[in-house]
Amino acid sequence: MAHGEGGQLTHRLIQEVFAKAFGRGLETGYDAALLPGWEQIIVSTDSFVVHPWRFPGGDIGKLAVVGTVNDVAMRGGRAAYITAGFILEEGLPLSDLASVVNSMAQTARGAGVVLVAGDTKVVEKGKGDGIFINTTGFGPLLPGAALSLEAMEPGDVVIVSGTVGDHGGAMLVARSGGELLSPVESDCASLHGLAADLLAACGPAVKMLRDPTRGGLATSLVELAEDAGLDIEVEEAAVPVQEAVRGICELFGLDHLYLANEGKLVAIVREQAVDTALQVLRRHPLGKEAVSIGRVTGRGGSLYLKTPLGITKRLERLPGLQLPRIC
């Protein structure tokens, strides 16, 4: 299970199996691929196995659309079309399937994307855990988008669009069977509008975008630091987190920096454009709590966390499971 949680084993699996097999055809370091030979089209694919499939603030259908729309947005694109593949377990009530599909349709309309192709398979009872969904999204690169790892440099600032760990906290509430009374809802939301506003206002001053899903904020920043070959330092006290999420993490012995998000973005922005970036993000409903939390400090390839006590420690990918099957 740890191979699917976005930590060290996931990274090794991608590098040692998939990247090794597919070579240059697989663009690593990004959640979506730019296809310049096709009029600069962005494409991304994702699979969703979240358990339970309904959770506070969303369900697997909403998540399937949002996850793919966001991956395209984090590459500087705007998803226009999606495909969907469903793996259904024998015995799944048709009313549940209809609920998921209607949720997908509503979310897609809200994001301005059209479902153009799909597939359905059914597996024997006990072989599929209800419903799994794969979605692929594609759309054009936005004007002014020039995101690349190579553009990152010392002095760039790290911005997060809001509180972290909300989706992971909501999943813990859902799995508690109602025993947790903390009012935490998933932040599950399509980020295409927020990302487009930021890119339109700041253009190439936005160096990279990421949505910190599996493995949370810390894992996303570890990946950025390693892929860019740069050190990043984050101020722990600057990272926004709901008190309810913080409390849940203390109860379960988890770290909110590694909890999943499904409606937040991380931006690496040139220092001179930070004020403009924050103003633009805070004008959007999904970015009202946007703050700067750190900066790129030099060459290296590591992520460091500066605690309120002034201690600096290195953060790594998680070696194993923290919270499985959150997307």
Beta bridge partners of 285: none
Separation of alpha carbons 147 and 74, rounded Å: 9
Residue-wise pLDDT tens digits, 91-138:
999 999 999 999 999 999 999 999 999 999 999 999 888 999 999 999
Instruction: Look at 25 and 194; give whichever has higher pLDDT.
Output: 194
- Phi, psi (degrees; rounded to nearest 5) at 304: -125, 145
- Phi, psi (degrees; rounded to nearest 5) at 235: -85, 115
Q: What is 149-315's CATH topology?
A: Phosphoribosyl-aminoimidazole Synthetase; Chain A, domain 2 (3.90.650)
pLDDT, residue 27, reads 67
Give domain limits for the chain.
31-140, 149-315
Which pTM value belongs to this model? Answer: 0.93
C-alpha torsion angle, residues 107, 261, 327, 26 (rounded to 10)? 100
For range 136-162, the mean pLDDT: 95
pLDDT, residue 25, reads 65
Do the domains spanning 31-140 and 149-315 agree at the CATH topology level? no
Instruction: Tell me the CATH class for 31-140.
Output: alpha beta
For range 146-161, the mean pLDDT: 96
CA 214 to each of CA 9, 164, 217, 280: distance values in angstroms, whole numbers, following the listed order? 13, 12, 9, 26
Give the model's confidence band at 221: pLDDT under 50 very low, under 70 low, under 90 confident, else very high.
very high
Q: Are 261 and 184 in contact (CB under 8 A)?
A: no
Is the model's pLDDT at 271 over the cut of 70? yes
Give the model's confidence band at 30: pLDDT under 50 very low, under 70 low, under 90 confident, else very high.
confident
For range 284-312, the mean pLDDT: 97
Q: Are 149 and 225 in contact (CB under 8 A)?
A: no
Q: Are 184 and 244 in contact (CB under 8 A)?
A: yes
